[in-house]
Copies of this chain bind each other. A is one copy, B any other.
Amino acid sequence: MTARVDTAEVAAALRLAPGPVRLADLATDTTPGFDGSKEDGRKALADLGGPLADRQERLFAEGISGGQRSILLVLQGMDTSGKGGTLRSTVGLVDPQGLRITSFKAPTAEERKHDFLWRVANALPSVGLIGVFDRSHYEDVLIARVRKLADEAEIERRYEAINAFEAEQAASGTTIIKCMLHISPEKQRERLFKRLDNPEKHWKYNPADLDERALWPAYHEAYEIALERTSTEAVPWHVVPADRKWYRNLAVGALLHDALVRLDPQWPVAVFDVATERQRLVEERPL
């Protein structure tokens, strides 16, 4: 029991092993890599805020000073799995100036005129930033597969296109952290009832959500195929048990922190002579 989190341990525990994926075999209510309570978990995330913000600022400074690195956090998951909550509670811990958040909806008419990766490429973080995708190009092999929005050959082509695209981004300096927020159908049911029973949450509910929910097995099959086909050595998937909000928030924070620790950005060295500048300021004429 501890209020400290070993972020490397959480990252290792959540990293998807190569090979076929069976989501039914992956628990949605466990807390891999962390043996504390809910209270411990919340405390651990709060305590992670400082280190996260510090390392994020170093990455930002590095980007200002000629660095070429960035981070991209990809959040996927069934409806109510908590993509928005993770953004608020975990991503919200860092300086908003260092973030570029994109929420992907159904493609616009303009977006449909381009390859499916076009809008995603336009939303990539600049150097020094942490980009966050709330949904992503994975919808193009998830809902697209379930709802037959593209034919089989096209869906097949997309897995390879995604791998090539992500490999290119990784090679050019973007650390991509892919998270599937994994909830049980029972938890989704509970959360949908909560949305219906609270007038302050009605705006989050759409009758079409239940139509999508009815396709749960087809979505999970699409996820299983996508996870297997696109979890690579350079850009692996993480399956985050997300029935417990506190663990989901902590886990994504741990993944972000672990990535920042590995990047280990350093404060840029002055490209000017500090003593000279100090002297200029000491000797300045009255304003």
Copies in the complex: 2
Determine if A40 is an interface residue (Cβ-Cβ < 8 Å). Answer: no
How far apart sit A64 and B143, CA to CA, in the bound complex (Å)?
A: 22
Q: Per a CB cutoff under 8 Å, which of B87, B203, B278 touches A96?
A: B87
Do B97 and A268 touch (CB < 8 A)?
Answer: no
Asked whether B61 lies within 8 Å of A203 as measured between CB atoms, the reply is yes
Cβ of A95 under 8 Å from chain B: yes
Interface assignment of A164: CB less than 8 Å from any CB of chain B: no
Q: Which of B97, B205, B210 contacts A101 (CB 8 A)?
A: B97
CB distance from A175 to the nearest CB of B (A): 19
Task: With both chains docked as a complex, state the minimum distance between the C-beta of A221 and any C-beta of chain B, in angstroms.
Answer: 12
Asked if B278 and A214 make an inter-chain contact with CB atoms under 8 angstroms apart, the answer reads no
Alpha-carbon distance between A65 and B88 when the two chains are bound, in angstroms? 20
A interface bracket (residues with beta carbon within 8 Å of B): 35 or more
Q: Is A127 engaged at the interface, CB distance under 8 Å to the other chain? A: no
Contact B287 A216 (CB under 8 A): yes
A228 at the interface (CB under 8 A from B): no
Task: Please name the residue on chain B nearest to A200 by beta carbon.
Answer: B267
Query: A199 touching B88 by the CB < 8 A rule?
Result: no
CB contacts (< 8 Å) of A206 on chain B: these are: 272
Q: In the complex, A214→B285 CA distance in Å?
A: 8
Contact across chains for B92 and A87 when beta carbons are under 8 A apart: no
What is the minimal beta-carbon distance from A107 to any residue of chain B, in angstroms?
17
A274 in contact (CB, < 8 A): yes
Other-chain residue from B103, B216, B267, B278 in contact with A97 (beta carbon distance below 8 A): B103
Q: Does A189 contact B (CB under 8 A)?
A: yes
**Residue A1 lies at the interface, judged by CB distance under 8 Å to chain B:** no
A104 within 8 A of partner (CB): no
Complex contacts, A91 vs chain B, CB 8 Å? 96
Is A115's beta carbon under 8 Å from chain B?
Answer: no
Q: How far is the CA of A65 from the CA of B206 in the complex (A)?
A: 11
CB distance from A57 to the nearest CB of B (A): 9
Does A29 make an interface contact (CB < 8 A)?
no
Complex Cα gap A152–B278 (Å) = 36
Chain A interface (Cβ < 8 Å from any Cβ of B): 61, 64-65, 84, 87-88, 91-92, 95-97, 99, 101, 103, 134, 185, 189, 192-193, 196-197, 199-200, 202-207, 210, 213-214, 216-217, 267-270, 272, 274, 277-278, 280-281, 284-285, 287
